[in-house]
Amino acid sequence: MGLKLISTDFDGTIFAEFENPPIPQSLQNLLGALRRRGALWVINTGRDLGSLLETLARAQLSVQPDALVLVEREIYVRQDAHYLALASWNNACAKDHKELFARVASDLESLVDTLQSRHRATFYADAFSPLCVLAENQAVASAIHLELETYAKTVPKLTVVRNDVYIRFAHAGYNKGLALSEIARRLKIRTSETLAAGDHFNDLPMLDRERAHWLVAPANAIPEVKQRVLSFDGYVSSRPHGEGVAQGIEFFLERVEGAQA
Whether the pLDDT of residue 1 is over 80: the answer is no
DSSP helix/strand/coil, 241 = helix
Using CA atoms, how far apart are residues 197 and 217, in angstroms rounded to an integer?
Answer: 6
pLDDT at position 260 is: 59
Instruction: Answer yes or no: is 77 within a domain.
Output: no
Instruction: Answer yes or no: is 62 within a domain.
Output: yes
Tell me: do 200 and 158 sit in the same domain. no
Tell me: do 94 and 147 sit in the same domain. yes
Tell me: do 192 and 160 sit in the same domain. no
Tell me: do 125 and 55 sit in the same domain. no
| Position 261 confidence tier, pLDDT thresholds 50, 70, 90 | very low
Burial of 219 (0-12, 13-18, 19+ CB in 10 A): middle
Contacts of 204 (CB under 8 A, 6+ apart): 177, 198, 224, 225, 228
Q: Assign residue 252 the CATH number of its domain.
A: 3.40.50.1000
Instruction: Answer yes or no: is 155 within a domain.
Output: yes
Tell me: do 200 and 247 sit in the same domain. yes
Tell me: do 184 and 214 sit in the same domain. yes
Q: What is the mean pLDDT of residues 185-197?
A: 97
Q: CB of 176 within 8 A of CB of 72?
A: yes
Whether the pLDDT of residue 24 is over 50: the answer is yes
Burial of 32 (0-12, 13-18, 19+ CB in 10 A): middle
Give how far the C-alpha of residue 124 lies from the chain's centroid of Cα atoms, to the nearest Å: 22
Q: Tell me which residue range forms the domain holding 94.
A: 89-171
Q: What is the mean pLDDT of residues 111-133?
A: 97
Tell me: do 142 and 181 sit in the same domain. no
Total structural domains within the chain: 2
Whether the pLDDT of residue 258 is over 90: the answer is no
pLDDT at position 199 is: 98
Q: How far is CA 257 from CA 2, 3, 30, 36, in A?
A: 8, 10, 15, 17
Q: CB of 242 within 8 A of CB of 27?
A: yes
Using CA atoms, how far apart are residues 233 and 102, in angstroms rounded to an integer?
Answer: 41
Tell me: do 14 and 137 sit in the same domain. no
pLDDT at position 227 is: 98
